[in-house]
Structure 1
């Protein structure tokens, strides 16, 4: 049993989360060592004059974060070695928390009504092949032909035979990485990049190298230098606003990256999940290097979160590899979702919902601009989030924790850190994951925290 005890004078509402943060801080600071046994729920509740239910919820939160383990009949123990990295977002929405941590599109009852009607239509029109066939080539030829039209709206011209339907962008990027980056190879990406790349590199056995970025994304000279210093096999890019820092890469920069990739014979994986949502953007990198770029897009971030379907467009040299790896990892995309996506692309519903999304985001960016009027931050008017650097001596972990104590969840910037270079603390804030009223309230909390004394923030945790 450890001698450290939480301070009851520092408990804030919600109490369970405040208690969890105190214990988490003690673990991170070394005041609670790995293997230390925590007091029983009843003992902790009595010591702090809290309910047993509150303590139980605090312990459950710590278990969710991987900081403690509960063993039936023995108690709760600190475990400082985590098996998996934390996601930047809350795995589940807690009732009293305004969740600005998870990146999702704006959704209203209209979206649920649309998918219900689509499912009703599907009940009357489902092709036999979508319900009964195991063979992708039997199910998807019609869907690939419609996908060609959607990819044109994304700025890409490609043959149906080069398109694979996937269960969203995550499946698409995983298959693309499996196809071009064998175990032991190295993939270059932005220094601040996709949060799943680090665990994916571990699972798939490739090395990951984060390269310098500026206000347009990856610096071509940094990619060229990395290729001259070590054998880079592929480069993973998010050039169109979906990247954490919300940057939009210019056409000239895309062409320069393509030239470096061609010079060193690199494969390019382009993650473009916002697709046509971003107006007046340059053509995809795939348009500048079609012979080597695997292009990933999907509908979940711009049409409907539950429409988990996407397209992976691959050049001829990788078509067979993509097909094989997709078969062994997914077999094929879910046909019922493909039917809805194809119907919505063909009848214009998908683009209508994209245009609706763009207008909804404009209103939300206006709220962010109002509340962050005196704060430097990065955003794009068609993007789903803002990137907020933290000034002065602010602790990123402390800032995120303090926001949680005040009922607002935001994503720590370090979750997107790929490079080991010096880090400037920041947070990512989603604009689409709540109602406009909740967004205004949540951003108001963040704005007030930015005006506070960083020293006070640390003491309040």
Structure 2
């Protein structure tokens, strides 16, 4: 506190900016560490001799710089600068080497893909004319035969599909960015679930959009909150994951989906439906893209059902947005590499994708059964064939403290705060995944470490002054 007083007194300009600068300097010096709780607005205002409004603006400026995160009812905490990097980092530590078991990453299960890749590359090596085409510039939407193949693939899973409205992208993240760049301008308001995929939050920030998170219940987005915000403001788009929501694993009910579509139509809000988890089971509800093809930008791909390194994303857009979206994609990267898309199309054409899907489903079911066996007496939620597990922590645990203790015990998981939009109130919960480890035995050891952490005594949480 003394350091802040001196630094702020020496600075010129607005006091709230000086406060944010002082927080940044304290982080750089190591005086403030990730997870540290800052003083309350009133306590700091009294100590600094400024108004509560000045402290509020200073904390908001620090949050805008991604230095802190505000948690309703809990306080303001120093943000872990490595959180988002960790969400997208895929350097999994080998548990046999003494490192932690990483259950924090939602990856595809690794099985027959390596052999499939080797076989497909060998086949292509004997087709010089095909290789020549794959090495040439193509239409920005993707090669026609590839779009036809993917449209059929999506159609089999119940997605209203049209190859003329389909664009091939460099993965689902690229599809999100292309959609936002096409339909939004800096300053536009976009909505999502209050807990959402961090990649969307990052894309929204990069596009300089205002991003607000909506409350959720057991059926998905709170439709009343969505409509209420539409009445008060003019959101440009709603990004959502109605199937296998990440991180909570909620499956939005058919009735709630219909409500969301009707509200979006009433207030002219475009929908970005993220279906990257791609649960192609018979029990699957109707995708928004099928319910409202004129309103929905459908985002899919093969990252979870085949392999993330393939970087094949799918973006299906309303008919009147095709030309503009194609222009955005061309300006962004000209086209997605056709080679990887060709490999995936061959897997689909040969039925290898179905064999891979069956293996992944069987393995996921077996791994989720392990979760039920070892953690079934805690508040967990997971789909039988999904990769993510949502765990609501016992009352004595705060999520950040739990994650830190779990890491000390040798397992990596993610807090709900990792997925929170802005100052959205994140519950005391964690998400972990069954898929990044090589086998069930490693998963079992990781689950044992999670249970060990649940059964241990939390450390005392002291505020930073």
Q: Does 1:100 align with 2:98?
A: no
Tell me if the contact between 1:242 and 1:383 (Cα under 8 Å) persists in the aligned partners.
Answer: no
Change in CA separation of 1:390 and 1:88 when aligned onto 2, cut-off 3 Å: farther
Question: Among 365, 375, 379, which residue is 1:376 paired with?
Answer: 379
Q: Does 1:205 align with 2:208?
A: yes
- 1:359 match: secondary structure: helix
Which residue pairs with 1:449 in the alignment? 453
Q: Write the deviation string for residues 278-309 of structure 1: whole angstroms up to 9, x where unpaired.
A: 44111101111110101011111011232221
Which residue pairs with 1:422 in the alignment? 425
Which residue pairs with 1:114 in the alignment? 116
Change in CA separation of 1:29 and 1:407 when aligned onto 2, cut-off 3 Å: closer
Cα distance between partner residues in 2 of 1:169 and 1:89: 13
Q: Write the deviation string for residues 403-460 of structure 1: whole angstroms up to 9, x where unpaired.
A: 11122111222110015243322111111111211111001110121112223799xx
Which residue pairs with 2:166 in the alignment? 163
Cα distance between partner residues in 2 of 1:29 and 1:148: 46
Cα distance between partner residues in 2 of 1:338 and 1:86: 27
Question: Among 124, 127, 131, which residue is 1:125 paired with?
Answer: 127
Q: Does 1:195 align with 2:194?
A: no
Which residue pairs with 1:297 in the alignment? 300
- Using the size of structure 1 for normalisation, the TM-score is 0.79
Change in CA separation of 1:383 and 1:290 when aligned onto 2, cut-off 3 Å: same
Which blocks of at least 5 consecutive residues in structure 1 are unaligned?
Answer: 1-22, 32-65, 68-78
Q: Does 1:410 align with 2:413?
A: yes
Tell me if the contact between 1:399 and 1:457 (Cα under 8 Å) persists in the aligned partners.
Answer: no
Tell me if the contact between 1:129 and 1:139 (Cα under 8 Å) persists in the aligned partners.
Answer: no
Tell me if the contact between 1:244 and 1:416 (Cα under 8 Å) persists in the aligned partners.
Answer: yes
Change in CA separation of 1:426 and 1:276 when aligned onto 2, cut-off 3 Å: closer
Cα distance between partner residues in 2 of 1:29 and 1:411: 13
Q: Does 1:358 align with 2:361?
A: yes
Change in CA separation of 1:89 and 1:407 when aligned onto 2, cut-off 3 Å: farther
Which residue pairs with 1:436 in the alignment? 440
1:211 Cα deviation from its structure 2 partner: 0.4
- 1:88 match: secondary structure: helix
Q: Which moved more, 1:255-264 or 1:121-130?
A: 121-130
Which residue pairs with 2:218 in the alignment? 215
1:28 Cα deviation from its structure 2 partner: 4.1
Change in CA separation of 1:279 and 1:104 when aligned onto 2, cut-off 3 Å: farther
Cα distance between partner residues in 2 of 1:427 and 1:196: 18
1:81 Cα deviation from its structure 2 partner: 9.6
1:368 Cα deviation from its structure 2 partner: 0.2
Cα distance between partner residues in 2 of 1:380 and 1:220: 23
Equivalenced residues, count: 391
Tell me if the contact between 2:187 and 2:210 (Cα under 8 Å) persists in the aligned partners.
Answer: yes
Tell me if the contact between 1:211 and 1:419 (Cα under 8 Å) persists in the aligned partners.
Answer: no
1:30-179 aligned within 5 A:
82=81, 85-88=84-87, 90-95=89-94, 96-108=99-111, 110-125=112-127, 127-136=130-139, 140-179=143-182
Cα distance between partner residues in 1 of 2:79 and 2:399: 20
- 1:386 match: secondary structure: strand
Tell me if the contact between 2:415 and 2:429 (Cα under 8 Å) persists in the aligned partners.
Answer: yes
Cα distance between partner residues in 1 of 2:436 and 2:80: 31
Q: CA RMSD in A?
A: 2.7
Cα distance between partner residues in 2 of 1:382 and 1:80: 33
Change in CA separation of 1:279 and 1:107 when aligned onto 2, cut-off 3 Å: farther
Tell me if the contact between 1:234 and 1:266 (Cα under 8 Å) persists in the aligned partners.
Answer: yes
1:220-369 aligned within 5 A:
220-369=223-372
Cα distance between partner residues in 1 of 2:307 and 2:124: 17
1:335 Cα deviation from its structure 2 partner: 1.0
Which residue pairs with 1:27 in the alignment? 33
Cα distance between partner residues in 1 of 2:103 and 2:194: 23
- Using the size of structure 2 for normalisation, the TM-score is 0.78
1:114 Cα deviation from its structure 2 partner: 1.4
Tell me if the contact between 1:292 and 1:315 (Cα under 8 Å) persists in the aligned partners.
Answer: yes
Tell me if the contact between 2:409 and 2:453 (Cα under 8 Å) persists in the aligned partners.
Answer: no
Which residue pairs with 2:396 in the alignment? 393
Cα distance between partner residues in 2 of 1:252 and 1:121: 47
Which blocks of at least 5 consecutive residues in structure 2 are unaligned?
Answer: 1-28, 38-65, 68-77
1:101 Cα deviation from its structure 2 partner: 0.7
Tell me if the contact between 2:249 and 2:389 (Cα under 8 Å) persists in the aligned partners.
Answer: yes
Change in CA separation of 1:205 and 1:151 when aligned onto 2, cut-off 3 Å: same
Q: Which moved more, 1:117-126 or 1:408-417?
A: 117-126
